[in-house]
Amino acid sequence: MKKVLALLLFSSLALATLQAQSLDEVLQNYYTNIGGLETWQSLRSTRTIGRANQMGMEFPFTMVMTRPNKQKLVVDIQGTQFVEAFDGQTAWTINPFMGGTEPQKKSDEESTEAGKQMFEDDLMDYARKGHKASLESSEEVDGVKTLVVKLTTKDGDDRFYYFDPESYVPIMIRTFAAAGQMKGMPVEQYLSDYDEVDGMMMPHSMTTKVNGQVVAQLTFDKIETNVEVDESQFTFPGDK
């Protein structure tokens, strides 16, 4: 009986070691193929100019992001601006689709969730940030048998990365909406058209699906790195 228990324990330890080595291999290939951790960790800000496709129409947008988690998206909708922003504490919006053109603060819950969307992806140097990662069973995405890495953040949120086994870049990321009307629903970001930007591989196309339905298709025409940013643009206008 002791020999059986010892054998089971040894097998479990061996399997755990193998999985850890496999996870490490996947992530090291990922870091290398996107330009290296040091290159990405030296990135301070980005400005992305592109086009959003919804309901058969295209709308130009500009998205600015800085460390640690400030961000602002401005979409031009036939002369009217749709805005989503986070200043490090408060998430706010200007949403003409809801019948208003004045900035409105979002709920505390939505601000909390916005604050979790860090400039640097949580999978980079994940252990130092207090997160956990594991290599899961393979899953097919658009005909590609992907390598699936599960990231569990220190806050308990789960995120799944689906890596192309040849390029070692994620072609899909699945999360779960934690606030708002879509709370609890799976959110999938399909990433494609990877190209080099200042030594880093970045996707230039992204399709977002919520609960299996396409809600946004974005094309990134130009990505600028380490741009000068006016920090006041992130602040809710009423707080300036």
Write the pLDDT tens digit of every residue in 150-178. 999 999 999 999 999 999 999 999 999 88
Domain around 194 = 2-239
Name every residue whose Cβ is closer than 8 Å to that of residue 218 and which is 6 or more positions away in sequence.
Answer: 50, 51, 52, 53, 61, 205, 206, 207, 208
The percent of residues above 70 in pLDDT, for the chain, comes to 91
In this model, does residue 3 exceed pLDDT 50? Answer: no
- Residue listed under structure tokens 């947008």: 61
pLDDT score for 239? 79
Q: In the structure encoding, which two tokens stand for residue 155, read together?
A: 């806050």
How does pLDDT run across 98-135, given as a tens digit for each residue? 777 899 999 999 999 999 999 999 999 999 999 999 99
How does pLDDT run across 75-91, given as a tens digit for each residue? 998 889 999 999 999 99
Name every residue whose Cβ is closer than 8 Å to that of residue 68 and which is 6 or more positions away in sequence.
Answer: 88, 118, 119, 120
Whichever domain contains 15, its CATH number is 2.50.20.10
pLDDT score for 240? 64
* CB-neighbour burial class of residue 107 (10 A; exposed 0-12, middle 13-18, buried 19+): exposed
Give residue 5's pLDDT band: very low, low, confident or very high (50, 70, 90). Answer: very low
Query: From CA 108, how far away is CA 231, in angstroms rounded?
Result: 22
Q: How many domains does the chain have?
A: 1
Query: From CA 240, how far away is CA 238, in angstroms rounded?
Result: 6
Question: Positive or negative CA dihedral for 90, 84, 49, 197?
Answer: positive
pLDDT score for 78? 85
In this model, does residue 4 exceed pLDDT 80? Answer: no
Give residue 70's pLDDT band: very low, low, confident or very high (50, 70, 90). Answer: very high
In this model, does residue 39 exceed pLDDT 60? Answer: yes
pLDDT score for 16? 45
Give residue 96's pLDDT band: very low, low, confident or very high (50, 70, 90). Answer: confident
Residue type, 157: D
pLDDT score for 100? 75
Mean pLDDT score across all residues of the chain? 89
pLDDT score for 33? 96
pLDDT score for 71? 98
In this model, does residue 20 exceed pLDDT 70? Answer: no
Query: From CA 30, how far away is CA 124, in angstroms rounded?
Result: 10
Query: From CA 159, how far away is CA 161, in angstroms rounded?
Result: 7
